[in-house]
Amino acid sequence: MTAGTEAIVSARTIEGRILLIRGRKVILDADLAELYGVETKVLTRAVRRNPERFPGDFMLQLSSQEFANLRRQYGTSSQWGGRRYPPFAFTEQGVAMLSSVLRSKRAVLVNVEIMRAFVRLRQMLAAHAGLQRRLDELEAKYDAKFKVVFEAIRQLMEPPAKPRKPIGFSAQTGT
C-alpha cells in the first residue's frame, strides 16, 4: 500500500465488505459508495447511465429475497433503510469498471486498494486449496499409522469454533 492511500481506506475495511453472493465475490453498491465518498444514488445513477459497461458478469442486482436475507443476516441497519429497490452487487470486474464512470481522484485510489483486496482474497483461497490438495496426496502416499497425524492437521486447518457464552448464574462473578 502506498503512503497516500493509507488514510483513504484500509485493506481490512475493504476485505470486510466483500461478500459471497450467488457464488461470486462481490461488494454492494452502498458499501462502494461509502468507500468512494459519494451517495449511493450517485453511484447507481452513473451505473444506470452506462449499462453497456456493466454486463451480468460485472454486476448483479439482488432479488428481493436475497436482500431480505442479507438484512436479516446483518440485522436492521440505517445504512439499508428506506431503499426502494434491492442493491446492486459488483464483482471485481464491475468495481474496476466503476473507475471509468466515477472519475474522482478518490475513486481511482480506492479502486486500486479494492483490486488489491480481491487479489489477496484470491491468493488466500488458492493457498488453502493447494494445501488441502497436498495433504490429500500425502495421506494417500503414507499408510494408516500417519492417519492420526493427518486428522490432527485437518482439525488445525478448520476455523476455530466461537466460544459459547455460559448459561446460568455464576457465583464467582455475581452475574
| CATH fold label, 3-119 | Mlu1-box Binding Protein; DNA-binding Domain (3.10.260)
pLDDT string in tens for the chain (175-residue length): 444 444 477 777 888 888 888 888 899 999 999 988 889 998 999 999 999 999 999 999 999 888 888 877 766 554 555 677 889 999 988 988 887 788 777 877 787 888 888 888 778 777 777 777 777 777 677 665 566 666 777 777 776 667 777 777 766 655 5
Q: Which three cell numbers stand for residue 26?
A: 462481490
Rounded CA-CA distance 112/119 in Å is 11
User: What is the rounded radius of gyration, in angstroms, for the C-alpha atoms of the chain?
Assistant: 22
Residue with C-alpha cell 462481490? 26
Q: Give residue 143's pLDDT.
A: 62
Q: Give residue 7's pLDDT.
A: 45
| Full-model pTM | 0.60
Q: What is the pLDDT of residues 60-79, one digit of tens each?
A: 999 988 888 887 776 655 45
Residue with C-alpha cell 466483500? 18
Our separate counts of H helices and E strands in the chain read: 8, 4
Q: Which three cell numbers stand for residue 126?
A: 488458492
The domain segmentation of the chain, as residue ranges, is 3-119, 127-157
